[in-house]
Amino acid sequence: MSLLEVKIPPMGESIVSGVLAQWHVADGDTVKNGQNLFELETDKITSDGTAEADGVISLKVEAGAEVKIGEIVATIDPSGAPAQEAPTAVAGAYPGPGSASPATTQSPAVRRIAEEAGVDPTGVKGTGKAGRVTKGDMQSAAAAAESNKHQVSSNHKPEAQPATAPSPKPISAPSAGERQTRKRMSPLRAKIAERLVEAQQEAAMLTTFNEVDMSAVMGIRKKYQEAFVKKNGFKLGFMSFFTKAVVNALKEVPGVNAQIDGKEIVSNHYYDIGVAVSTPKGLMVPVIRDCETKSMAGIESSIAEVAGRARDGKITLADLEGGVFTITNGGIFGSMLSTPILNAPQSAILGLHAINERPMAVNGEVVIRPMMYLALSYDHRLVDGKEAVTFLVKIKEAIEDPSRLLLEI
């Protein structure tokens, strides 16, 4: 039976390459159809590659390598026939590539590690099919041998070794107390950096601020949270209120729901709102579609679903495209105030911040209220100050009096 090629799958027309961030399997492992094989990082999304058949896998590309769409990164032998197991050998040092040895029946990756680290594969317990020693087994054995070597050397003076014993190559490791380390920037992080710089260089960005009393929203959540959870199976958060408030404000100030394309102004007549999500790979902005037609529960459910997939690396390119406005919430990390950067080509972004109790003057009296600062960054080439301030005031009014959201006023 012929070998099955494992290729980098297509991700969309705009993605032509990526970085094979890590393998979830080792060379020589037996894999199952549908099993996750590797993690691929591109400048837009992170996704997993899966096996399309059962069999024994042979890796062709090292983790961390840049790969192109369609490139072959591994092969799978559907017959599942592992290399013939070697007969029991006399314990001793690995003889090396020039000697006839049972170890030569092992995979190339296993033999390479054996040669470099001086570890005899016949003394390593295999976790592959039929007890086969895999690349991962050898890496673990080499690490253990190196650890034991350092432990012994710290307690005893080194002894002279017989001339016939091979000398393992030293493993490069960061020195204790090293002041700097370097690693390659991921494609996603590099793209984020590029887009943020472009947004600041190409747009006439300006930020306006306001503050909002969160008492009404917090009161609604406290009063109806138990019933909401019982009906929907998840909690009512703040983001659904702000998403509804943004949709209402975009309807009232349609100039904010537009973008510049060359010499033209493109006015949007739909309300797909992006919600910024922090992931281990970097910031992503999945888009919640048709927010004007969704209930509060529908918005909360959609946010939880796409945010979860973004953090798990399951997000697709389609999930990130087509938003008309973005909401970012630095308050969950304790941010008091910030100036969010535009998510091009959108013309505005709303920044939410931490809720803190502060003394406020209400009807001539000083009272303590839970307050949040709001920040609206916008492209002044398209949005005038009057429109920006009006938009932010509309959001403030809707949050401080949520009944406005029901009446859309």
- Both 62 and 199 in a single domain? no
Asked if residue 340 belongs to a domain, the reply is yes
Please report, in angstroms and rounded to a whole number, the separation of the first and last CA atoms in the chain. 68
Extended strands (E) in 141-257? 205-213
Asked if residue 383 belongs to a domain, the reply is yes
Could you give the CA distance from residue 399 to residue 177 in angstroms, rounded to a whole number?
Answer: 51
- Both 323 and 203 in a single domain? yes
- Both 69 and 204 in a single domain? no
Question: 81-104: per-residue pLDDT in tens?
Answer: 444 444 443 334 444 444 434 444
Q: Would you say 187 and 43 are in contact if contact means Cβ atoms under 8 Å apart?
A: yes
- Both 373 and 240 in a single domain? yes
**Catalytic positions, please?**
380, 384
Q: 24, 48, 77: which is the final residue of a domain?
A: 77
Q: Would you say 89 and 101 are in contact if contact means Cβ atoms under 8 Å apart?
A: yes
- Both 67 and 198 in a single domain? no
Q: Which residues of 218-244 are buried (b: 16+ CB within 10 A; e: fewer)?
A: eebbeeeeeebeeeeeeebbbbbbbbb
Q: Would you say 41 and 81 are in contact if contact means Cβ atoms under 8 Å apart?
A: no
Asked if residue 111 belongs to a domain, the reply is no
- Both 346 and 208 in a single domain? yes
Could you give the CA distance from residue 25 to residue 36 in angstroms, rounded to a whole number?
Answer: 8
Could you give the CA distance from residue 298 to residue 301 in angstroms, rounded to a whole number?
Answer: 5
Number of domains the chain is built from: 2
Q: 26, 44, 77: which is the final residue of a domain?
A: 77
Asked if residue 131 belongs to a domain, the reply is no
Question: 355-396: per-residue pLDDT in tens?
Answer: 999 999 999 999 999 999 999 999 999 999 999 999 999 999
- Both 232 and 379 in a single domain? yes
Asked if residue 191 belongs to a domain, the reply is yes
Tell me what pLDDT residue 284 has: 85
Asked if residue 163 belongs to a domain, the reply is no
Predicted TM-score (pTM) of this structure: 0.63
Could you give the CA distance from residue 235 to residue 300 in angstroms, rounded to a whole number?
Answer: 8
Asked if residue 94 belongs to a domain, the reply is no
Asked if residue 199 belongs to a domain, the reply is yes
Any bridge partners for residue 352, and if so which? 329, 374
| Portion of the chain with pLDDT greater than 70, in percent | 78
- Read off the CATH number of the domain in which 378 is found: 3.30.559.10
Query: What is the extent of the structural domain holding 28?
Result: 4-77
Tell me what pLDDT residue 174 has: 60
For residue 408, pLDDT over 90 is answered with no
Q: 56, 77, 98: which is the final residue of a domain?
A: 77
Could you give the CA distance from residue 2 to residue 33 in angstroms, rounded to a whole number?
Answer: 16
65: its two tokens: 């390598």
- Read off the CATH number of the domain in which 8 is found: 2.40.50.100
Indicate the range of 10-24, 27-41, 227-241, 350-364 predicted with least confidence.
10-24
